[in-house]
Amino acid sequence: MKYYPVFLDIRDKKCVIVGGGEVAARKAERLLDCGAKVSVISPKLSPELAELKEKKGIAHIVAQYSGDLIDGAALIIGATDDEKTNAQISIDARGKGIPVNIVDDPQKCDFILPSLVQRGDLAITIGTGGKSPALARHLRKELESKYGKEYETLLNILGNLRLRMGKNTGVGKDWFKTLLAAGILDSIKDKDIKKVKEIVKKITGEEVEIEFN
């Protein structure tokens, strides 16, 4: 099966996780990072989920799973250790037209979650069509070592410059290559704000605010 890659805007949307363990906690953290309103259905919560409930306000539905509890959700993630429950979650979600992911069971999924390298708004995803999560993890680790936090800062600079492109038509279209050739990434790694600003000013004519992460 070949999946259609897509990025979803789930800000302020209800996203339901069924299950209260460590896997559910990892899924909840990613959803929260994207601004979702997360609800967890489970009689009990792992310490990680309990902390998310306290600090980030996830909703905890203290109950065994039933189909009425997922009404109104934008998406569902099934993360229980019970195969029958996971199968029922998939059936119910599909019956209600809600996209569903069942952890480690692609046949019951409408979507699968790729391995992810996140640097601010820069998201590098690796998918194997569900064939080898181990390979996806291996590639993720390689990418994490290659693309550090400096890329988050670079992306913020490029984003700010792009907002000004319409006002400054004299600036060429080769900003990106020229900035890289001028060593902007190395200057960001060194946290040399003065040098970064000099490079940007020289190449684009623009003043930019810079925050290192």
Q: Give the distance, in angstroms, between the CA of residue 90 and the centroid of all CA atoms in the same chain.
A: 23
What percent of the chain stands above pLDDT 70? 95
Tell me phi and psi for residue 36, to 5 degrees: -75, 155
pLDDT tens digit sequence for 61-100: 999 999 999 999 999 999 999 999 999 999 999 999 999 9
**pLDDT for residue 147:** 96
- Average pLDDT of the chain, as a whole number: 92
All domains in the chain, ordered by first residue:
1-113 (3.40.50.720), 114-147 (3.30.160), 150-204 (no CATH)
Residues 160-203: tens digit of each pLDDT: 888 876 555 445 467 888 999 999 999 999 999 999 999 999 99
pLDDT digits (tens, 9 = 90+) for 128-165: 988 888 999 999 999 999 999 999 999 999 988 888 76
Identify whether the C-beta of residue 153 lies closer than 8 Å to the C-beta of residue 212. Answer: yes
Torsion of CA 86, 7, 22, 58, to 10 degrees: -90
Q: Please, are residues 30 and 24 in contact by the beta-carbon 8 Å criterion?
A: no
Tell me the three state secondary structure of residue 112: coil
Q: Phi and psi (nearest 5°) for 192?
A: -95, 85
pLDDT tens-digit map of 23-48: 999 999 999 999 999 999 999 999 99
